[in-house]
């Protein structure tokens, strides 16, 4: 297969020859025409909760549902992702991770696409505000024995666990998880600066969707947002859908962390893709508003996940933080790979042909095609 497209990193139009699932050769072309699609490595989204009415964190998750969700992500340019299970009962979490593990055993394609499971909870703050839409009855302290059972059910595929460091057992849990090669993230927390530092000393590496999952009112300083921003050992993931964070906050976070310690995520909800209305999800009622926002039903401020793709986040962060295209694309490709110590997607001969082709104009990105190992998804 041959593709002619404009490289995202240099802007140069090239002919890409693909063979046996890899980039065989790249030949620069002399072309000043603007009609060529752009090409980049496929997006890597490490926080996606479901799609089209199906959550990963569910006692009724099926392999067919996982395949449908993966296909929906591919339409948005995502070639690799971390199915994210949010706070739930042990039985629902075990069923979810076990079903994902079986799906990966049965499907080589899903095994390529799913690079690890993200467990967002249940070890989160039960306080209103920090817990967001996570059900309070299932928020609980870190429990290593429980987590080990979930990891066994997942065939060892849990790669990220998001927790609150406010619990007394959090540092010990973080040390065990980090020593097992798991990326520990801090999120949905109500913690002091001392507790955050203790968590980072124990091995925590990431702030999950920094700026969200927080009290509606915070003291000026100190507070846990400043503490995480100032902690140079913490990376941060950001939801840049234009709804979760104002442009000024995104720009400030980018300046504070620098692109080298940032990852873009979509945080797509299981309700993403559904029409406006009220829906039951994980024990609480949620609502899709007319403008696409997903909120806890009955109000319009407390968000409950996202509905916009990571491609839209790439375009938004270019506009909000004055980033160039190569840097913004890197936040959704090479940066998540660095965080999880995965082989990075690149545009070099010999690299796996996990690719996304897109239009880029007026600072908007429209995905036109997604290839996994050279095959259109």
Specify whether the CB–CB gap between 125 and 164 falls below 8 A. Answer: yes
Tens of pLDDT, residues 99-137: 999 999 999 999 999 999 999 999 999 999 999 889 999
pLDDT confidence of 283, banded at 50, 70, 90?
Answer: low
Give the ranges where 193-324 is alpha helix by DSSP (H): 193-202, 224-230, 247-257, 310-321
Tens of pLDDT, residues 228-274: 999 999 999 999 999 999 999 999 999 999 999 999 999 999 989 99
- The answer to whether position 358 is within a domain reads no
The DSSP code sequence of 155-167 is: TT-EEEEEE-TTS
Which residue's structure tokens are 């020859």? Answer: 17
For 58, the domain range is 42-345
Per residue, the 3-state secondary structure of 202-240, as one string, reads: HCCCEECCCCCCCCCCCCCCCCHHHHHHHCCCCEEEEEC
Specify whether the CB–CB gap between 281 and 242 falls below 8 A. Answer: no
Tell me the sheet residues that pair with 375: 372
- The answer to whether position 352 is within a domain reads no
Tens of pLDDT, residues 44-93: 999 999 999 999 999 999 999 999 999 999 999 999 999 999 999 999 99
- Percentages helix, strand, coil for the chain (3-state, rounded to 5) are 30, 30, 40
Q: What is the CATH number of the domain that holds 323?
A: 3.20.20.140
Q: Tokens in use for 354?
A: 């996990």
* 54/377 Cα distance (integer angstroms): 20
- The answer to whether position 191 is within a domain reads yes
Among 156, 65, 167, smallest CA distance to 107 is for: 65
Q: Tokens in use for 144?
A: 């290593």
* 207/212 Cα distance (integer angstroms): 10
- The answer to whether position 362 is within a domain reads no
- The answer to whether position 59 is within a domain reads yes
Tens of pLDDT, residues 141-176: 999 999 999 999 999 999 999 999 999 999 999 999
Which residue's structure tokens are 């702030």? Answer: 207
* 213/162 Cα distance (integer angstroms): 12
* 281/297 Cα distance (integer angstroms): 11
pLDDT confidence of 297, banded at 50, 70, 90?
Answer: confident
User: For 169, left (φ over 0), alpha (ψ -120 to 50), or beta?
Assistant: alpha
Which residue's structure tokens are 């990963």? Answer: 56
pLDDT at 138 > cutoff 80: yes
- The answer to whether position 353 is within a domain reads no
- The answer to whether position 145 is within a domain reads yes
- The answer to whether position 355 is within a domain reads no
At residue 299, what are phi and psi to the nearest 5 degrees? -150, 180
Strand segments, DSSP code E, in 268-338 are: 277-281, 284-288, 294-296
Q: Are strands 277-281 and 284-288 parallel, antiparallel or unpaired?
A: antiparallel
Residue-level length of the chain: 377
Which residue's structure tokens are 């049965």? Answer: 106
How far, in whole angstroms, is CA 194 from its chain's centroid?
27
Give the mean pLDDT of 366-375: 97
Q: In total, how many domains does the chain have?
A: 1
């Amino acid at each position: 297969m041959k593709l002619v497209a404009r490289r995202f990193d240099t802007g140069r139009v090239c002919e890409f020859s693909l063979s046996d699932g890899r980039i065989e050769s790249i030949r620069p072309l002399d072309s000043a025409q603007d009609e060529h699609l752009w090409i980049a490595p496929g997006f890597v989204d490490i926080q996606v909760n479901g799609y089209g009415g199906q959550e990963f964190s569910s006692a009724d998750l099926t392999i067919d549902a996982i395949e449908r969700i993966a296909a929906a992500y591919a339409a948005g340019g995502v070639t690799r992702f971390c199915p994210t299970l949010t706070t739930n009962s042990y039985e629902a979490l075990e069923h979810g991770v076990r079903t994902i593990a079986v799906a990966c055993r049965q499907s080589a394609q899903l095994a390529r696409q799913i690079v690890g499971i993200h467990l967002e909870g249940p070890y989160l703050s039960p306080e209103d505000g920090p817990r967001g839409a996570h059900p309070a009855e299932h928020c609980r302290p870190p429990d290593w024995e429980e987590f080990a059972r979930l990891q066994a059910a997942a065939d060892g595929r849990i790669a990220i666990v998001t927790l609150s460091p406010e619990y007394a057992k959090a540092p010990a849990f973080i040390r065990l998880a980090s020593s097992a090669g798991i990326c520990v993230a801090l999120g949905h927390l109500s913690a002091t600066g001392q507790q955050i530092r203790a968590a980072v000393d124990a091995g925590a590496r990431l702030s999950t969707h920094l700026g969200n999952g927080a009290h509606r009112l915070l003291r000026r300083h100190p507070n846990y947002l400043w503490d995480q921003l100032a902690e140079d050992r913490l990376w941060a993931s950001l939801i840049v859908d234009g709804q979760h964070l104002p442009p000024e906050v995104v720009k400030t976070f980018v300046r504070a962390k620098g692109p080298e310690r940032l990852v873009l995520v979509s945080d797509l909800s299981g309700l993403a893709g559904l029409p406006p209305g009220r829906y039951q999800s994980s024990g609480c009622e949620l609502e899709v508003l007319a403008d696409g926002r997903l909120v806890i039903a009955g109000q319009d401020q407390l968000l409950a996940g996202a509905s916009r793709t990571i491609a839209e986040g790439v375009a938004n962060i270019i506009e909000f933080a004055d980033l160039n295209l190569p840097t913004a694309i890197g936040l959704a490709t090479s940066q998540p790979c660095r965080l999880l110590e995965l082989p990075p997607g690149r545009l070099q001969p010999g690299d796996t042909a996990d690719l996304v082709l897109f239009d880029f104009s007026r600072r908007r990105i429209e995905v036109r095609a997604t290839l996994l190992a050279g095959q259109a998804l």
